[in-house]
Homo-oligomer: A and B are copies of this chain.
């Protein structure tokens, strides 16, 4: 399979071989993502960034990745793009913007929109999140982070114990993640959620069909035990309006809980944003200096992984090795002050 010229609408597009090829390319591009090297393989190319729904994080990450490859970006977001397209079909909008660009990244609140967009053009369309559907570039960066964290501590992906924690019903990131992680072998997948927020049955069946063990739990304290990966998600409170939240503070993952329940070499991830207001039952900030907390290594990983994806889809992956050159501007040794413990004191 080749990614050249393909639409990237779902994480179903990727098999294990393709993931490993993307990981290798992302490794090569990581110094560019951190501003230590320069590569200009897409100089002259144009990406259109169309976010019918606001998403600063994903949009900026994609735009930075395309820029780091040497390309230019044209961008429209939210109210502006929505008002313009009044009465115009998504197919027309897509076909028009295809004539302005070499690649389109789009997010839309309706699940079907990205498919209508892709059907109207041969210019590659990358799904930047389609409602309750998929978010394949997030799934890729999650897998890449996991790959790096496990590699660093000498673990392979196969045979690991994976705990998914929180609102597993509504979180599209954990849905995409379970599809990709289950491409590996011999996993134990622990779904830790309050009763009404459990993982959809068809995803459990998919994982079981691929030979993995499933365990269900509604108690984080026991669910996190022995896990190699703890993947926490944000409770999407906007979905519960006036109802009582189905979440107790047991689901607050903080230093005390991690000290009691987690392995010393566990990897703790979260798709962000996390709710840091007092009383939120989310991933706590008192873990910021814990080397197990990989959330910023995770967002950092979005740049090289999206670069790898764009370079693959546009067929310039082979040109990358010969095109790298050193950057000459200042870059801090550690991006965040809290990154230092991680580099100085890798998980033992």
Verify if A222 is at the interface (C-beta below 8 Å from B).
no
In the complex, the chain B residue whose C-beta lies closest to that of A43 is B38
Chain B residues in 8 Å Cβ range of A97 = 60
CA of A301 to CA of B319 in the docked complex: distance in angstroms? 30
Q: For A64, give its contact among B35, B46, B60, B77 (CB under 8 Å).
A: B46
Chain B residues in 8 Å Cβ range of A33 = 99
Q: Which residues A84-108 have CB closer than 8 A to chain B? A: 84-89, 91-93, 95-102
Verify if A114 is at the interface (C-beta below 8 Å from B).
no
* Sample of 15 further A-B pairs with CB below 8 A, known A119-B337, A120-B336, A122-B334: A5-B332, A44-B70, A56-B81, A57-B84, A57-B96, A64-B100, A68-B72, A88-B272, A91-B285, A95-B296, A98-B335, A99-B296, A121-B335, A122-B335, A314-B329
Is B99 a contact of A303 with CB atoms below 8 Å? yes
Known A45-B329, A76-B56; contact A87-B285, beta-carbon cutoff 8 A: no
Chain B residues in 8 Å Cβ range of A179 = none
In the complex, the chain B residue whose C-beta lies closest to that of A311 is B329
Stretch from A12-20, A160-168, A252-260, A274-282 that touches the partner: A274-282
Verify if A313 is at the interface (C-beta below 8 Å from B).
yes
Verify if A67 is at the interface (C-beta below 8 Å from B).
yes
Is A316 a contact of B328 with CB atoms below 8 Å? yes
Known A40-B44, A44-B70, A122-B334; contact A88-B273, beta-carbon cutoff 8 A: yes
* A53 vs chain B, min Cβ distance (A): 11
Known A40-B44, A46-B35; contact A335-B99, beta-carbon cutoff 8 A: yes
Chain A contributes a number of interface residues (CB within 8 A of B) equal to 90
Verify if A143 is at the interface (C-beta below 8 Å from B).
no
Is A45 a contact of B296 with CB atoms below 8 Å? no
Contact with B along A327-348 (1 / 0, CB 8 A): 1111111111110000000000
Chain B residues in 8 Å Cβ range of A102 = 35, 329-331
Is B40 a contact of A35 with CB atoms below 8 Å? no
Verify if A315 is at the interface (C-beta below 8 Å from B).
yes
Q: Which of A95, A121, A314 has the most CB of B within 10 A?
A: A95
* A46 vs chain B, min Cβ distance (A): 5
Is A327 a contact of B44 with CB atoms below 8 Å? yes
Is A99 a contact of B44 with CB atoms below 8 Å? no
Verify if A228 is at the interface (C-beta below 8 Å from B).
no
* A224 vs chain B, min Cβ distance (A): 22
Is A314 a contact of B336 with CB atoms below 8 Å? no
CA of A102 to CA of B95 in the docked complex: distance in angstroms? 31
In the complex, the chain B residue whose C-beta lies closest to that of A48 is B60
Is B38 a contact of A299 with CB atoms below 8 Å? no
Known A43-B38, A88-B274, A276-B89; contact A96-B299, beta-carbon cutoff 8 A: yes
Verify if A63 is at the interface (C-beta below 8 Å from B).
yes
Is A56 a contact of B84 with CB atoms below 8 Å? yes
Chain B residues in 8 Å Cβ range of A330 = 4-5, 102, 124, 313-316
Verify if A248 is at the interface (C-beta below 8 Å from B).
no
In the complex, the chain B residue whose C-beta lies closest to that of A39 is B44
CA of A63 to CA of B100 in the docked complex: distance in angstroms? 9
Is A35 a contact of B45 with CB atoms below 8 Å? yes
Known A92-B276, A273-B84, A276-B87; contact A99-B299, beta-carbon cutoff 8 A: yes
